[in-house]
Amino acid sequence: MAAASTSLCEDQFLCSICLDVLTDPVSTSCGHNFCKKCITEHWDNCVFFDCPNCKKKFYTRPELQVNTFVSEMVAHFRQSTQQKVISLRRRAPEPGDVLCDICTGTKLKALKSCLVCLVSYCETHLEPHLTVSRLKRHQLINPLENLEGRICTEHDKQLELFCKTDQTCVCSLCIVSEHKSHDVVPLKEEYERKLADLCETEADIQQLISKKQLKIQEFKHSVNVSTKAADREIAESIQVFTKLREALERNQAKVIETVEEKHRRTEKQAEGFIKELEEEISELKKRSAEMRQLSHSEDHLNFLQSFKSVNAVQPTRDWKDVKVCPPLYEGTVRTAVSQLVKMLKNEIKRLLTEIDLKTVQQYAVDVTLDPDTANQQLILSEDGKQVHCGLVRKNVPDNPNRFYAFLCVLGKQFVSSGRFYFEVQVKGKTKWGLGVARESVDRKALYSVCTNNGYWTVWFINENVHHSLTENCIVLSLKSKPEKVGVFVDYDEGLVSFYDVDAAALIYAYTGCSFMEKLFPVFLPSANLDGKNSASLVICPVNAT
């Protein structure tokens, strides 16, 4: 079949009706082949049935027979033609392709170049290098232009060596002349060495690319963080300034109302005086008219009888010292502004503290109590979130971490860098202490809980909140008794702050501290005196809004 295929031509498989390659070939009884559709349509339009090729007539419509052999040949021909088209397309050169050096006339695309022959071959002319044993040993590579550049211009021999001394390619004769006693190696050896260097450099470049991509991600992350922070800051500023503007508008309305009220009182007073004066004027005009009428009377008796009543002095108010004084509006505005400034200061302080609290709440840590540090008299909840003082000491194992003298317990979590925040409910307690403590605090001796001894705390004692820098406690002035306290630590800034969470107010802040070791949350529920102060200190989840 392969041998036969070489002699196949398209004319052998054409339909004489459509003049195209046969499709679904069928044969007539006279032995001619047609497309099934073509011969069927031909006979549908004819009065007599005949063969379009030999004109043989049939008295009845012939029964068409499928020619299996012709069908196989047509299929084979179509496949062969398609492969030739694909091969021709593959072999057809494109701009920039290396051309075959052997082809005459139209040159085909080269498939390989031979480094021994220094010739480029198309698929057809390459065949000897794939079949002839001695040519199989030649080194074939992807097509290259300017193969002459691989020949030594001085000795006309192939460049197959590399002079490491001069960093140039040489032939076998160069090493006995110009490159004698130079460090010369085969091209392949130098190629492999430099390829390894190239791979290593490429790996370094990829690593450098990765680092730079990570840096880009870092910058993008910074931008995202900045965007969120900026959005949050803008939202908070809008909130603050909206509240301040509302406060200003309220106070402005109050000033206007006060001024208008003063003006209304002045206006009412003046209207009263005016009305009274108008009544007096009306009465005087009435008397004047009576006098004028009496003065024109010629009845001597009537004149004298009426004169006394008409000329009598009627008592009127002395208006000499009566005045309507405009109120001092300037004083009203000045007083209102003074009060407003004071109010704004308090409001700004409150709003800033509220913003500050929201900020530090972002650093909330899920704190749990460490039972190994708890004084024997303290009772901890199973979840490690609550502690209160019992009435008797428990029999628990002693260890170096347990507090002996203080009714004290530490949290398991700690801070040694960055920021740390937690909240504790103190509602219902009459005495308590909260804060952070150094890891190295003495847990056995009895001494003051102050910064000098490694404690940064606030205390609630006798309805007052205290803090202690040294041995002495200092009372803090608070507007209300806190029910939930937030503790914030900025380790790197040396800051420990305490907040009244519900009031969004700062209780106290230790600043300028120098921390050199781990800081642990410290809880001091104080003694339970016959049921008093029996409530627990409760570690609360932080609800940052």
354-367 pLDDT tens trace: 777 888 888 899 99
Select from 442, 429, 416 the least CA-distant residue to 524.
Answer: 429
pLDDT reported for residue 85: 52
pLDDT reported for residue 145: 79
- Sheet of 184-186: strands edge to edge? 168-170, 161-163, 184-186
Select from 396, 391, 393 the least CA-distant residue to 373.
Answer: 396
3-state secondary structure of 435: strand
Contact 460, 485 (CB under 8 A): no
235: its two tokens? 């939202």
pLDDT reported for residue 353: 66
% of the chain beyond a pLDDT of 70: 91
245-263 pLDDT tens trace: 888 888 888 888 888 888 8
Contact 401, 424 (CB under 8 A): no
Listed in sequence order, the residues at least 6 apart from 359 whose beta carbon sits closer than 8 Å to its beta carbon are: none
Phi (first) and psi of residue 517, to 5 degrees: -145, 180
* CA pair distance 365, 421, nearest whole angstrom: 6
Locate all alpha helices (DSSP H) within 296-380, ordered by sequence: 300-311, 329-360
For 21-30, 140-149, 339-348, which range has the lowest pLDDT when averaged over its residues?
339-348
* CA pair distance 217, 282, nearest whole angstrom: 94
Locate all alpha helices (DSSP H) within 92-186, ordered by sequence: 127-131, 133-136
pLDDT reported for residue 82: 65
Beta bridge partners of 58: 49
The H or E element that residue 27 is part of is strand 25-27
pLDDT reported for residue 10: 60
Select from 451, 258, 260, 281 the least CA-distant residue to 339.
Answer: 258
Say which residue the tokens 């099934």 belong to.
Answer: 36
* CA pair distance 325, 329, nearest whole angstrom: 12
144-155 pLDDT tens trace: 877 777 778 788
Average pLDDT over every residue of 107-111: 85
% of the chain beyond a pLDDT of 90: 23
pLDDT reported for residue 4: 40
What's the whole-number average pLDDT of the chain? 83
For 32-46, 374-388, 422-436, which range has the lowest pLDDT when averaged over its residues?
32-46
More confident site: 89 or 107? 107
Select from 432, 370, 427, 378 the least CA-distant residue to 401.
Answer: 370
For 157-161, 200-204, 335-339, 468-472, which range has the lowest pLDDT when averaged over its residues?
468-472
pLDDT reported for residue 148: 73
Provide the 10 A C-beta neighbour count for residue 393: 10
* CA pair distance 143, 101, nearest whole angstrom: 11
Whole-structure pTM over 0.85, yes or no? no
* CA pair distance 227, 236, nearest whole angstrom: 14
- Taking only Cα atoms into account, the Rg of the chain, rounded to an integer number of angstroms, comes to 56
On the question of pLDDT at 290 being above 90, the answer is no
For 289-303, 398-412, 467-481, which range has the lowest pLDDT when averaged over its residues?
467-481
Provide the 10 A C-beta neighbour count for residue 413: 15
3-state secondary structure of 394: coil
3-state secondary structure of 510: strand
92: its two tokens? 């057809």
Listed in sequence order, the residues at least 6 apart from 350 whose beta carbon sits closer than 8 Å to its beta carbon are: 504, 505
3-state secondary structure of 420: strand
On the question of pLDDT at 374 being above 80, the answer is yes
pLDDT reported for residue 87: 58
98: its two tokens? 């290396």
Highest mean pLDDT among 350-359, 467-476, 536-545: 536-545
Say which residue the tokens 């041995």 belong to.
Answer: 471
Select from 156, 183, 181, 182 the least CA-distant residue to 171.
Answer: 156
Average pLDDT over every residue of 114-131: 85
Q: Position 373: which residue type?
A: T
Contact 489, 334 (CB under 8 A): no
* CA pair distance 350, 358, nearest whole angstrom: 12
- CA distances to 412, 428, 435 from 385, rounded to whole Å, are 11, 16, 15
Phi (first) and psi of residue 207, to 5 degrees: -65, -40
Half-sphere exposure of 406 (CA within 13 A, CB side): 25
* CA pair distance 99, 108, nearest whole angstrom: 6
Contact 380, 351 (CB under 8 A): no
Confidence of residue 9 (pLDDT cuts 50, 70, 90): low
Average pLDDT over every residue of 306-333: 74
293: its two tokens? 């009428």
Burial of 402 (0-12, 13-18, 19+ CB in 10 A): buried
The backbone region for 84, taken as left when phi is positive above 0, alpha when psi lies in -120 to 50, beta otherwise, is alpha
